[in-house]
Structure 1
């Protein structure tokens, strides 16, 4: 069988047997499309794809000056694909079987929002809403929604994808509980304790409740459809610029800022792991590096040794 035929079978396997998300299937298709376009191998027999061929392809990816993270993902997709072919006995052995392939990723510390910028951001969006004269206009409605979105991002540390896919049944405003369905369909419940956050959700719900239940999504856009991840990113970027904040602000930075803030308040890392929905505590531990930088700053500027005046 030809490569493109095998890719079609693999896609069906991912959708109907593995029940993978549409985003994962789309990412697999993008990676495999690039692989079959390499040397125009779409109609090639599976015998062509040995260890040498895979190594040449990986070298080609590096020559395209892709980020290490992208290359690692593309190689991971290929490994999954060939493991499927081996398991289904289309090939005898996966070419990855005896390959020592290690792609090291640069360690990047999570970017957070400065406290002064965070305060400025929230002060601006609340003032922006209050300054809208026509309280029945869509501009006002959108401002109310935008406040609820950003307040919830920071209050829960949820991912933007998790926020956009919230159903009306996932949020109990009266009890202040949000049920979040994260990666791997793992569910976690987060309490909303801040009264201003609760109030922002109440105001939004009063304006949008009819449309919320019609579409079965909690956050709704101008066209009365689910609010998209890109819309949230553009919205936050817009308020960042309008408020005069120079540093780039993204939805994910609210998540990072919550995590590092909780660590600075000496919250046990296991609780932070649960709040963020990390399956492994190793993922959460990246924030301890950020926290150690904060610790260094404190010891450098506030240590009582500075005030001994020995000499």
Structure 2
């Protein structure tokens, strides 16, 4: 069968049978389009694509100066494609079954936001809100919304995609319960406990209630559409620069800061795993490597050396 047709059927399978989320589908589509453009793939019969051709493709990917993580994802897409073909009995055996591919990623520690920069950022936006002259203007409503988003990011450690995709019925401001749809369609509930965070969310709802009610999304933009991940990232960058915060800030850094600060306060890593929505504890354990503050505190106050006197 023609490879082009099989690839189309695979994407259809991913979208309508496996019900993968739009982000994953988009990544799969990009990866498949790149594979189609390699060499003479499109003129081949699917049974002619063997491990030698796939090895050539791996070498080709390395010439593109891609990060190891990107190469691993592209190969995972192809592996899923050939597994699908094998399951559908279009091919006898996936060529990946006869391959041992090991791509090592450089482990980078999560970047967190300095606590003084978090204080500086929030102090700035709340000062603007306090000094705002005309609260009937949309710019004031937008500011209240942005404060609610920033408070939620810092208070819950949600991914920016999870914040953007909150729906009107997902959040209960009376109980503080927030239903979150995470990666892989996994649902979890996180509790909003801080009074200030609840207050910011309630104020936002009071200003946007009619628009939110008409729209399925909780956080919306001026046109009543979903407040996108891109817009949230740009919003953070705008306030970072306006507040003269020298550290470059991203939405995901709020998530890293949330996890690290809880760890520094002695919270069990398994609780943090649940709040972050990690399926594996190994993903959460990376935060233990940057928990220097707690380590310093323990060694300076608990180590027995402090009670030993050797000098005469």
Shorter chain as denominator, the TM-score bin is over 0.9
Structure 1, unaligned runs of 5 or more: none
* Structure 1 residue 108: Cα displacement: 1.2
* Structure 1 residue 250: Cα displacement: 0.7
Report the counterpart of residue 225 of structure 2 in structure 1: 225
Does structure 1 conserve the Cα–Cα contact (< 8 Å) formed by 2:164 and 2:229?
Answer: yes
Does structure 2 conserve the Cα–Cα contact (< 8 Å) formed by 1:125 and 1:147?
Answer: yes
Structure 2, unaligned runs of 5 or more: none
Corresponding position: 1:37 with 2:37: yes
Q: Determine helix, strand or coil for the equivalent of 1:39.
A: coil
Q: Using the alignment, how far apart are the partners of 1:185 and 1:207 within structure 2? A: 31
Does structure 2 conserve the Cα–Cα contact (< 8 Å) formed by 1:155 and 1:192?
Answer: yes
Does structure 1 conserve the Cα–Cα contact (< 8 Å) formed by 2:265 and 2:294?
Answer: no
Report the counterpart of residue 79 of structure 1 in structure 2: 79
Report the counterpart of residue 186 of structure 1 in structure 2: 186
Q: Using the alignment, how far apart are the partners of 2:293 and 2:310 within structure 1? A: 25
Please say which of residues 130-139 and 294-303 is displaced more in the overlay.
294-303
Please say which of residues 144-153 and 8-17 is displaced more in the overlay.
8-17
Report the counterpart of residue 268 of structure 1 in structure 2: 268
Q: Determine helix, strand or coil for the equivalent of 2:97.
A: coil
Q: Determine helix, strand or coil for the equivalent of 1:202.
A: helix
CA-atom RMSD in angstroms? 1.8
Q: Using the alignment, how far apart are the partners of 1:135 and 1:306 within structure 2? A: 60
Give a deviation string over 1:111-163, Cα, whole Å, max 9, x none. Answer: 10001011111111111222321111111111000000010111111111111
Q: Using the alignment, how far apart are the partners of 1:267 and 1:103 within structure 2? A: 33
Does structure 1 conserve the Cα–Cα contact (< 8 Å) formed by 2:15 and 2:25?
Answer: yes
Q: Using the alignment, how far apart are the partners of 2:294 and 2:200 within structure 1? A: 34
* Structure 1 residue 297: Cα displacement: 4.1
Q: Determine helix, strand or coil for the equivalent of 2:38.
A: helix
Give matches, 1:1-311, under 5 Å. 1-291=1-291, 293-298=292-297, 305=306, 310=311
Please say which of residues 203-212 and 88-97 is displaced more in the overlay.
88-97
* Structure 1 residue 296: Cα displacement: 4.6
Q: Determine helix, strand or coil for the equivalent of 1:189.
A: strand
Give a deviation string over 1:41-93, Cα, whole Å, max 9, x none. Answer: 22322133111000000001011110011000001101000111111111111
Q: Determine helix, strand or coil for the equivalent of 1:42.
A: helix
Does structure 2 conserve the Cα–Cα contact (< 8 Å) formed by 1:4 and 1:43?
Answer: no
Paired residues, what number? 310
Does structure 2 conserve the Cα–Cα contact (< 8 Å) formed by 1:109 and 1:290?
Answer: yes
